[in-house]
A and B are shown apart, each in its own frame.
Chain A
Amino acid sequence: MKKSQKYSSRRSFLKKGLTTGMVGSLGLSAFGSELSKAVSNGPKYSNPSDLKITDIKTAYMRGHGTHMFVKLITNQDIVGYGEAMDAVRGTYGVATGSIGWDNMRQFLVGKNPLDINKIFEQILRRGHFGGAQSGMYVAVLTGIEIALWDLAGKAMDLPVYRLMGGKFRDRIRLYCDTASSSESPEDMAAAAMDVKNKGFTAIKFDIDWAGDPSKQDEFNMTASNGEIERMVKQVGAVRDAIGMNMDLCLDAHGRYDLPSGIQIAKEMEPFKLMWLEEPIPAENLDSLREITRQTKTPICTGENHYLAHDFRKILEKQAADIVMPDLHKCGGLGEGQRIANLANLYYVPMAPHMVASPFGAMAASHCCATVSNFLCLEWHWISKWDQWNELIQEDPIIEDGYISLSDRPGVGVTPDEEAIRKYAVEEAPSFF
């Protein structure tokens, strides 16, 4: 009885004209002319709902560093996948509760997964004395949060971006992270041209090199003139090769001290970078602001910052020109949207750090699509393109340097568990 709702399903509104015609106009007109009657006869979807999380499983993989995949299982044969990165190595059991009592599993099993932000907040609050301010706890929670979005989207038959207020764009621009700083300027230029020829419109290089022979000391963080000279030659060769219109970013991985950071930023000014990333480490924002204020080179930071609170501090101090939360570490897609919205109040663009699998890349893309100030998303797999393609069940998602946002329910791509198993972290006690 309930199945014959008076009003038409959403598909009727959204399909191409032909299909709409097939559905007929009876249901459609009910929304227009008799909405109040129609809606009171409509089903009450989620209050109460029988959809419940019954289990959580994780799998750890070596890919670009350590990946944590999350699988949320429900009572209705529907699963949600999530992925967290970098700050997850050794967190086996934090999410699933196989070890210890204070785990995240207990806040998930039995819960309706549709109230994503609520569950996220509950787990965050529960960890107040357990490290929920930053770091590993947040990263693990991030994997769960993404799985909740995937699950909610599938349950409601909607792509995640729809559940986040709709999209600003259909394609997500990528920048390609490429060759190593130990290579010669000529080799770096050739690698850059290869990336350009593959269709990318933006590129990033690392400029920190621990093995640089000009380094005077293994532990101090001061760049010698020789090191800076090496960087200038490398970047100059790349800029000459790709021209001025391809965007160029540099990453220093927080491996320099404040005077070196200022000097590097200033030396790079002629190359009109899109940004210089983490010239100094993440912790001291007053120091970062010093660099940002003293140079024309845009300064970017964020992959080692967690939750909107960390970004509030960056933005209030105007310590960076661009923020780059890692959406697989910083709290997730909802928190990513909140960070972008916050940055938008300071006219600061968001360019997420991203080293996850194609599943995680598509999850991040949903968030990037829903905010106005998205700039570009990282892609860091050019040296491991084969493994990248293996990791999902669907066809490759990158074309001409862009990801086309999925319109399928949930994240829209599915981790290939067998492929992930091939690269599993052996020390992890369980695999899904």
Chain B
Amino acid sequence: MKKKLDRRSFLGKSALAGMAGTAWLSSYGSGLAKAVDNAPKYSNPSDLEITDVKCGYVRGSLFVKIYTNQDVWGCGEAVDAIHGTYHLVQRMGRMIKGQNPLNPHRIAEFLRKSAFFGGAQSGMYVAVMTAVETALWDLTGKVLDVPVYQLLGGKFRDKIRVYCDTALYTARNPTPADYAEAAKDSVALGYNAVKFDVDDGRDPNKYDRFNWTANPMEINRMYEAIAAVREAVGPDIDICVDMHGRYDAPTGLRMAKKYEDLNLMWLEEPIPADNVDAYKFITQQTTTPICTGENLYLAHGFTRLLNDGAVDIIMPDLQKAGGLGEGQRIANLSNLYYVPFAPHMVASFLGAMASCHVCASVPNFMIMEWQIYMDKNPMWEEIVTYDGPKTENSFITLSEKPGIGVEINEEGMKKYAVEGVPFFE
């Protein structure tokens, strides 16, 4: 009996809008009050509620599904700081059971506040919460029939630029020629930006396994590897270098200055994540842009870094840092300092697309990470369900489907599941 106002008619192609008829359309224009009074009251109150949260673990990823009383679910993913957290997921599930899932900001805040004494400042609790928060966005988007970016204020862009991490770190003691070849390989696949790791704990020239100072031979190795990449790809391809926080401040500064003539897009984590003053020390003395963030959590993790001008580019991991809403808040914060937002990303295509919705929704998005193994290893195809290509010419096309637009494929994922951990049970 209720008068049905269907947003699709406003949004579809004109043929479709025509089909829907115009009688009720005109009531929006000329008699809105009447129309809205007759519209259904969607969510207040609503019978939709969370009934269960289940999870599965594959390699470095935690996959979460939030179930409801109405046979619609949401999918989320967290990475890296999630090993051994099965019981924490169960606990968070019990905490949010019975709640209406359509208020992701509110539920995320509830989970955070509930664990002020339980580790909610940083680390594993935040990472696990991130998977749950992401699944809430997916669920909300599906239920409201809109893609997640629309719930974040709309999009600035339809395509999300990615750089290709070449994963050359899997090779033992690669030579500059190996670096050059890997770079050409990525460029041949269409990527216009590449990233290489240069930290190497197995470097035979290392004098000491524990101190963090690189000797002249290591410094030359790190420089020559990237010089070979620049030589191979020419001046127009962006190159990023990651040191994984495995060096001390003088080494970090020395490498940043040595790399200056190679015109990097950035040098990432020349030192560990914790000391803002040390970052400032390096950033202010070099023209190489310095980037950090994958080991920082929540917007709080970025306030002092930005306030002190300690970094040129930030790279929160949106599968660790607190979720999609927190990711947007971090980007908005960095925008106040004219600092670009370049998220770290080592998740499956579910996490990648979830991140893309945030990247689309903020002005200062720069580029997002992509892993070459996702193009080459079939596991990454099997564990999720989606339409179309993943990347094309260094871009991911933002999904227009309700929610995130990528689903967990439990059947495909099962054989890769971490042994000994219950899998979506």
Interface set of A (CB-CB < 8 Å, partner B): 2-3, 7, 9-17, 20, 25, 28-29, 31-33, 35-36, 39-40, 42-51, 76-79, 114-118, 121, 152, 154-159, 162-168, 170, 308-309, 312, 316, 334, 338, 341-342, 345, 370-372, 393-394, 405, 407-410, 412, 414
Q: Which A residues lie within 8 Å of B158 (CB)?
A: 47
Q: Which A residues lie within 8 Å of B150 (CB)?
A: 46, 114, 156, 163
Q: Which B residues lie within 8 Å of A15 (CB)?
A: 40, 42, 46-47
Contact B153 A31 (CB under 8 A): no
Q: Which B residues lie within 8 Å of A28 (CB)?
A: 70-72
Contact B5 A166 (CB under 8 A): no
Is B16 an interface residue when CB atoms closer than 8 A count as contact?
A: yes
Interface centre among A13, A79, A342 (most CB of B within 10 A): A13
A372 to B11, CA, bound (A): 32
Interface set of B (CB-CB < 8 Å, partner A): 4-14, 16-17, 19-20, 22, 25-26, 28-30, 32-33, 36-37, 39-48, 68, 70-73, 102-106, 109, 140, 142-147, 150-156, 158, 299-300, 303, 307, 325, 329, 332-333, 336, 361-363, 385-387, 400-402, 405, 407
A252 to B332, CA, bound (A): 32
Contact B72 A31 (CB under 8 A): yes
Q: Which A residues lie within 8 Å of B362 (CB)?
A: 117
**Cross-chain contact of B400 among A45, A118, A168, A393 (Cβ < 8 A):** A45
B295: min CB distance to chain A, Å: 19
A151 to B, closest residue via Cβ: B10
B287: min CB distance to chain A, Å: 26
A29 to B72, CA, bound (A): 8
A18 to B, closest residue via Cβ: B47
A46 to B22, CA, bound (A): 20
Contact B143 A14 (CB under 8 A): yes
For the complex of A and B, the 3 pairs showing the least CB-CB separation, nearest first, are: A166-B103, A115-B154, A32-B71
**Cross-chain contact of A162 among B28, B43, B48, B329 (Cβ < 8 A):** B43
Contact A13 B143 (CB under 8 A): yes
Contact A165 B26 (CB under 8 A): no
Contact A409 B36 (CB under 8 A): yes
**Cross-chain contact of B145 among A9, A78, A115, A412 (Cβ < 8 A):** A9
A372 to B, closest residue via Cβ: B109
A312 to B143, CA, bound (A): 35
Contact A116 B154 (CB under 8 A): yes
**Cross-chain contact of B8 among A45, A47, A78, A370 (Cβ < 8 A):** A45
A154: min CB distance to chain B, Å: 7
Contact B29 A78 (CB under 8 A): yes
Q: Which A residues lie within 8 Å of B25 (CB)?
A: 76-78
A61 to B11, CA, bound (A): 33
Q: Which A residues lie within 8 Å of B386 (CB)?
A: 36
**Cross-chain contact of A39 among B26, B45, B361, B402 (Cβ < 8 A):** B402
**Cross-chain contact of B155 among A40, A118, A155 (Cβ < 8 A):** A118
**Cross-chain contact of A43 among B8, B30, B42, B325 (Cβ < 8 A):** B8
Q: Which B residues lie within 8 Å of A40 (CB)?
A: 387, 401
A–B complex contacts, Cβ < 8 Å, 29 sampled: A14-B42, A14-B43, A17-B47, A20-B70, A28-B70, A36-B385, A45-B147, A77-B28, A79-B29, A114-B11, A114-B150, A114-B154, A116-B154, A117-B153, A117-B156, A117-B361, A117-B363, A121-B363, A155-B10, A157-B5, A157-B6, A163-B151, A166-B103, A167-B103, A168-B105, A170-B44, A338-B329, A409-B39, A414-B36
Contact A117 B154 (CB under 8 A): yes
A338 to B152, CA, bound (A): 12
Q: Which B residues lie within 8 Å of A20 (CB)?
A: 47, 70
B386 to A, closest residue via Cβ: A36
A10 to B300, CA, bound (A): 35
Contact B151 A370 (CB under 8 A): no
Contact B7 A157 (CB under 8 A): yes
Known: A50-B12, A164-B153. A13 touches B48 (CB 8 A): yes
Q: Which B residues lie within 8 Å of A156 (CB)?
A: 7, 10-11, 144, 146, 150
A32 to B102, CA, bound (A): 17
A342 to B, closest residue via Cβ: B333
A46 to B16, CA, bound (A): 13
Q: Which B residues lie within 8 Å of A371 (CB)?
A: 105
**Cross-chain contact of A341 among B7, B102, B329 (Cβ < 8 A):** B329
A132 to B294, CA, bound (A): 33
Q: Which B residues lie within 8 Å of A47 (CB)?
A: 158, 400
A128 to B102, CA, bound (A): 37
Known: A51-B10, A51-B11. A2 touches B28 (CB 8 A): no
A117 to B364, CA, bound (A): 12
A31 to B145, CA, bound (A): 11
Contact A345 B103 (CB under 8 A): no
Contact A341 B299 (CB under 8 A): yes
Q: Which A residues lie within 8 Å of B39 (CB)?
A: 157, 408-409
Contact B102 A166 (CB under 8 A): yes
Q: Which B residues lie within 8 Å of A308 (CB)?
A: 332, 336
Contact A13 B70 (CB under 8 A): yes
